[in-house]
Chains A and B, each alone.
Chain A
Amino acid sequence: DAGITQSPRHKVTETGTPVTLRCHQTENHRYMYWYRQDPGHGLRLIHYSYGVKDTDKGEVSDGYSVSRSKTEDFLLTLESATSSQTSVYFCAISDRQTTDTQYFGPGTRLTVL
C-alpha cells in the first residue's frame, strides 16, 4: 500500500458523535486525498491537501473537515456523524512531480448506527 496506513481500520459509532480518521504516509508525498466508496457510487473525493495546512474541498465535502499539520498526516473529521456517512474511507497520496498516479491506503470501514 505504498507506505500508507489508515487508522482505525474499523469503527462503529453512533449518530451525532464526532469521529476522526487518520491517514499516515511515509513517502513524503505532497498531495493527500480522502475518498469514500459506496455501492453504486464508486470512489468519490471528499477533501484533498496540496501541502501542510493547504486543503480544499472535493465533490462530497459536506459534513466533513480535514486537517494537515504535518506532511505525513492527513486527518478526516466527521463533526457529528450521520448514518449517511456509513462507508469505506480511503486515503490516497501522490507526488505529482513525476506522475499524477494516486496510491491508496487499506481503507477504514465506518459504520454509523
Chain B
Amino acid sequence: GESVGLHLPTLSVQEGDNSIINCAYSNSASDYFIWYKQESGKGPQFIIDIRSNMDKRQGQRVTVLLNKTVKHLSLQIAATQPGDSAVYFCAETLTGRRALTFGSGTRLQVQP
C-alpha cells in the first residue's frame, strides 16, 4: 500500500551507482538530524543520525553530510542496490524538544 505522497521528487539511479539524496532543514537551532527509509506499506526505518557538532558520519554503505551554514543535509548511498528503492526522509530536532520535524521525502528508484 502507498504510504507517502504521489508527487515526491524522485531520484532514479542505476544499480551499482552511488546515490545522493538532499534535504534542506528548516530550523537553524536544530542540533540532531536523522535519515529514515520508508518502503511501501511500512513504517519509517532508522538509517543514520548525526549531531550538529559533526560534519560527516559514516555507516554501512551510507554517509550523512551536514552543512550548518546553509542548513543542508545529504545522504550518500554507495553501490546502490534494488533493495534501496524507497522514500527517504530527513528529520530534525533540538535536543530536549519532544517532536521530530520531517522533510517531505525523496523517492529513490534503483534501475537494475
Contacts and interface: CB of A to CB of B under 8 A. Distances in A.
Interface in A46-102: 48, 50, 56, 58-59, 88, 90, 99-102
A22 interface: no
Contact of A107 (B32, B36, B43, B104): B43
Interface residues of A, number: 30
Contacts of B91: 102
A3 to B, nearest CB: 12
Nearest to A90: B43
A58 to B, nearest CB: 6
B interface bracket (residues with beta carbon within 8 Å of A): 20 to 34
B4 to A, nearest CB: 7
B99 to A, nearest CB: 4
Contacts of B16: none
A102 B99 CA distance: 9
B6 A100 contact: no
Contacts of A44: 102
A104 B44 contact: yes
A40 B93 contact: no
A105 B43 contact: yes
B93 A33 contact: no
Interface of A: 1, 4, 31, 33, 37-45, 48, 50, 56, 58-59, 88, 90, 99-107, 109
Interface of B: 1, 3-7, 32, 34, 36, 41-46, 49, 89, 91, 93, 95, 98-100, 102-105
